[in-house]
Structure 1
Amino acid sequence: MSRPASLPLAHLDAMTDERGLFEHCRFDVPRPEHGYCLDDAARALIVLMREPSDTPVTRRLIEVCFRLVDRAVVGDGRVHNRMSPTGEWTDDAGLGDWWGRALWALGFVAAHGRETTLRDRALAAFRRAGSARSVHVRALAFAALGAAEVCLVQPDDPNARAILRDAAAVLAVDGPSAPWQWPEPRLRYANASLAEALLAAGTTLDDERLLDRGLAMLRFLLDIETRDGHLSVTGVEGRGPGERDVQFDQQPIEVAAIADACSRAYDLTADPIWRDHVGVAWAWFEGDNDSGARLFDADTGAGYDGLTAGGRNENRGAESTLAALGTYQQARRTGVLDRVSP
């Protein structure tokens, strides 16, 4: 497996100007004409907050991405997602998945920001966005992950705890004996984040039932998305009961969510099976997947935009790059990389 000494950020840095992180690339060349989205800035903040190194590049990226996320949250808690190349919002503020991603990122910065001023600004923006509530399952799951981070530093924060309770009520709807152990009729994308949100809620709210439910959901997902020892994740069309064939296009965000959830499960249980699953997630980027294609450039840190039956999508956009970088971080943190030869 490729093991860069530190997180390679050259591609991410090249994709970021003074306004934000460009959403798309043509191969490895940024496409400024497509503008920016909050989703990517939020994902970037989480990856950057995890990284222990404090360099001019990480500081610049954090400042740019935080400024975009903070600015996106309007007074009533709704959040913008789309920004034009000239810096104007092109959408109405809303409560879709991006609202949850904003809360996730703001919670992470509130808990792990290096400067007091940054942490305070993030907490204020979290509380502003957290005053609203989305009806979407995935948005609530993302928000819950941010709320759990806030509770690390503000254990009794009423807004964060309310978000965790609201998310748990939606996510933990089926019993462990149900044939389809999932709160949605079909798997979609970033599915493991739903299970991880229950693990976070169970830990923060001290609720063993939620922990058990989150672990059961994660096992259920891995059973569906593992084939012959490697990940064979749900494609862009989604997957419902009884649909077990190989699917394409497979998206890196699905694999990154699995790495995050399994890393949290390993922290909570110390069961090495979860660490092994983090390793399987990283191996997917290294080519142990349904097409045998590598989806990570260890020199630049670029991630490729999905797995097709014929190989990889050669474009290297923000979402896929951050998915690869985040998965590498989890593999490094859990010791997976120390257990394999270079």
Structure 2
Amino acid sequence: MTTTAPAPIFDHLLRMTDHRGTFEHACFAEPRPEHGYCTDDMSRVLVVATRQPHADWDVHRLASVAVRFLNEAQDLTGACRNRMDSSGRWADEPTLEDCWGRCIWGLGTAAAHSKVAWVRQSAIVQFERAARARSPWPRAMAFAVLGAAELLTVAPELRAAHDLVTDYAASVAEPNANPSWPWPEARLTYANAVLAEAMIAAGVALDTKPLWQRGLDLLEWLLGHEAADGHLSPTPAGGRGPDDVRPAFDQQPTEVATLADACARAAAIDPRQIWPDGVRAAAAWFQGANDAGQLMWDPETGGGFDGLHADGVNRNQGAESTLAVLSTLQQAQHFSAVPQ
């Protein structure tokens, strides 16, 4: 038996994007410009656009729009604004929250993988500016480390990236020695897999096996905890604790995409079948292998549905959900048509 993941389809994302950026929200498939844009989404746009193999002109244009948006989002200190209104005015002040970390993730990915020279060059300049800062927020730092690790694969001498990874590695807390709940937090919250993925990425970048092995161990536990009855049952928007009833909703597509990214990274250093299986399970979640048996994307346009509820699907196709589909299917392409 073989499995073949659908190819990513960029039609809906392109429809959601104008000259400034990608609109954050949609009403069903219709973009809602009045809600504006956000750095979190534009960072994800830069990731999926620059790691798409054999990208066409339209996808390269997405990367160009994204890298310009992130440049405008950055303060001279490296901190980032997150929200821009529909007229192009920033609606918040620069911070070192998740938008900062995701910005660095996008820039590092673009610098490592974009086929467009000016996008690579601009991404490096912006990366070095943002990477001077450090965030107190664990997920912000974890996303930033992913970008730094990507950049180090093509520029191992880049001091800003190396220092960011080194500082992150020094900040990782020791394991909690609780075999029933080894997670470093009392509850799973959001983008959980990025914490494990960052440990793997930093461990590989620094050639520190205990760190990457800890990331693998945590990710293996998380993957088992996020599965039920042969499919993924991800942490809902309200989080999940050790004794919470399952399944639970509202399930967000971005949780599935984060898990797929982490499993793909794990597969690069650990040959066990668990990691390709994890990526394929993430792709299958969008195709209906989930707690409600519902399709979570539009296979005609590539739009992703915004949430899985106990009583059905939120069929709005916002940027975050659409990018989650694209990201997951990109990862699944690497593991398609593999014997089971």
TM-score (norm 1): 0.95
Match of 1:156 in 2: 157
Further displaced range: 279-288 or 242-251: 242-251
Match of 2:107 in 1: 106
For 1:44-193, list aligned pairs within 5 A: 44-175=45-176, 177-193=178-194
Further displaced range: 89-98 or 216-225: 216-225
CA distance in 2, matches of 1:118, 1:98: 20
CA distance in 2, matches of 1:169, 1:181: 19
CA distance in 2, matches of 1:25, 1:138: 26
For 1:129-278, list aligned pairs within 5 A: 129-175=130-176, 177-278=178-279
Further displaced range: 61-70 or 176-185: 176-185
Please give the secondary structure, in 2, of the residue aligned with 1:233.
coil
CA distance in 1, matches of 2:167, 2:315: 40
Deviation at 1:339, TM superposition (A): 4.8
Instruction: Give the aligned CA root-mean-square deviation in angstroms.
Output: 1.6
CA distance in 1, matches of 2:308, 2:133: 36
CA distance in 1, matches of 2:172, 2:253: 23
Q: Deviations over 1:240-285 (max 9, x none)?
A: 2332521100000100011111111111112112111111111111
CA distance in 1, matches of 2:172, 2:236: 22
2:50–2:60 contact (8 Å) kept in structure 1: no
* CA shift in 2, pair 1:139/1:124, >3 Å: same
1:202–1:208 contact (8 Å) kept in structure 2: yes
* CA shift in 2, pair 1:183/1:301, >3 Å: same
Deviation at 1:178, TM superposition (A): 4.7
1:231–1:284 contact (8 Å) kept in structure 2: yes
CA distance in 2, matches of 1:308, 1:171: 34
1:100–1:141 contact (8 Å) kept in structure 2: yes
Match of 2:295 in 1: 294
Structure with bigger RCO (C-alpha 8 Å, 6+ apart): 2
TM-score (norm 2): 0.95
Return the letter of the residue paired with 1:291: A
1:137–1:170 contact (8 Å) kept in structure 2: no
CA distance in 1, matches of 2:246, 2:43: 33
Match of 2:324 in 1: 323
Number of residue pairs the alignment of both structures matches:
338
CA distance in 2, matches of 1:209, 1:243: 31
2:280–2:332 contact (8 Å) kept in structure 1: yes
Deviation at 1:184, TM superposition (A): 2.2
CA distance in 2, matches of 1:278, 1:224: 15
Q: Deviations over 1:36-73 (max 9, x none)?
A: 00111110111111111232211221111111012111
Deviation at 1:151, TM superposition (A): 0.6
For structure 2, list consecutive stretches of 5 or more residues without a partner in the other structure.
Answer: none
Identical columns (%): 48
CA distance in 1, matches of 2:164, 2:335: 28
Please give the secondary structure, in 2, of the residue aligned with 1:307.
strand
Deviation at 1:124, TM superposition (A): 0.9
Deviation at 1:176, TM superposition (A): 5.4
Match of 1:39 in 2: 40
Match of 2:10 in 1: 9
For structure 1, list consecutive stretches of 5 or more residues without a partner in the other structure.
Answer: none
Please give the secondary structure, in 2, of the residue aligned with 1:43.
helix
Please give the secondary structure, in 2, of the residue aligned with 1:255.
helix
Deviation at 1:332, TM superposition (A): 0.8
Deviation at 1:87, TM superposition (A): 0.4
Q: Deviations over 1:279-319 (max 9, x none)?
A: 11111111111111000111100000010001211101000
